[in-house]
Amino acid sequence: MRYLILAFSFTLFSFYSNSQKLTYSIVYGLGFKYNPPFENNAPYFPHSFRLLYNDMVSFYFMPLNLKDLTRNVVSGKRYFHHVFYRKPLENFFAQGSSYNLKKKIFILDTSNRKWILIPGNRTIAGYKCSSAISLGINNDTTFAYYTRELPQGFGPEDYAGLPGTVLEIYNPRDNKYILANKVTVGEFELRMPENIPTMSREEFQKRKAGHL
């Protein structure tokens, strides 16, 4: 009987979704700025990611196929790896991952990235952008361009908290380059499970190491 209840609970989790209406969709390219096969130091983007957001929530994920780059309705339970889910008003920030092939969860985390606004302007995907830098725990510097024309302070991965949407990131330490190439304003829907499985980063590390 106990196992039947657990199975029924899992079924409810799998199929019952919390629907959220979103306004913005941004497609980013992720690459490594100074590695081959570049020509004339031009960036190369072997991976695409997508950010969906409104005033209160953002969902950044790696599409499973080309259709995922343009879907108006996105089911959040399909994506766990390379996922960042943020609800600032609820102080909720989580990264999707798994510690084995069966256990898919969201790691609860804190985004304490501090930004320093610096001179510098450029246009990205048709939006006027300003620049900023962030110093990491090892004093490594991340460079960002954000636009106040999209006032929500969201961005790719954990790069958020600026007075506008982040459209470009360059992290020299990881040799990582993220650049927005398409911004769409419209009507989108994010369907997330009602009860998202979560754990702390400390517990996740222990489980991943096989200690729990």
Q: How many domains does the chain have?
A: 1
Query: Helix, strand or coil for residue 48?
Result: strand
Give the H or E element holding residue 132.
strand 127-135
Q: What is the pLDDT of residue 119?
A: 95
The pTM of the full predicted model, rounded to 2 decimals, is 0.81
CB 22 within 8 A of CB 188: yes
Q: What is the pLDDT of residue 179?
A: 93
Instruction: Render each residue's pLDDT in the chain as its tens digit; 212 residues.
Output: 443 333 333 333 343 357 888 999 999 998 876 544 444 555 566 789 999 999 999 999 999 888 999 999 998 878 777 789 888 888 888 887 665 545 566 777 766 688 999 999 999 999 999 999 998 777 788 999 999 999 889 999 989 999 999 999 998 888 889 999 999 999 999 988 777 777 777 777 777 676 55
How far apart CA 207 and CA 114 sit, in angstroms, is 30
Burial call 44-57: b when 16+ CB within 10 Å, e when fewer: ebeebbbbbbeeeb
| Residues spanned by the domain of 185 | 2-208
The region that residue 140 occupies, defined by phi over 0 for left and psi between -120 and 50 for alpha, beta otherwise, is beta
How far apart CA 150 and CA 195 sit, in angstroms, is 30
User: What CATH number corresponds to the domain at position 45?
Assistant: 2.50.20
How would DSSP label each residue in 50-103? EEEE-SS-EEEE--SSGGGGT-SEEEGGG--TTEEEEEGGGTEEEEEEESSSS-
Burial call 6-41: b when 16+ CB within 10 Å, e when fewer: eeeeeeeeeeebeebebebbbbbbbbebeeeeeeee
Residue 24's φ and ψ, nearest 5 degrees, are -120, 145
Beta bridge partners of 107: 95, 199
Q: What is the pLDDT of residue 110?
A: 62
Q: Which residues contact 8 (CB under 8 A, 6 or more apart)?
A: none
How far apart CA 198 and CA 86 sit, in angstroms, is 13
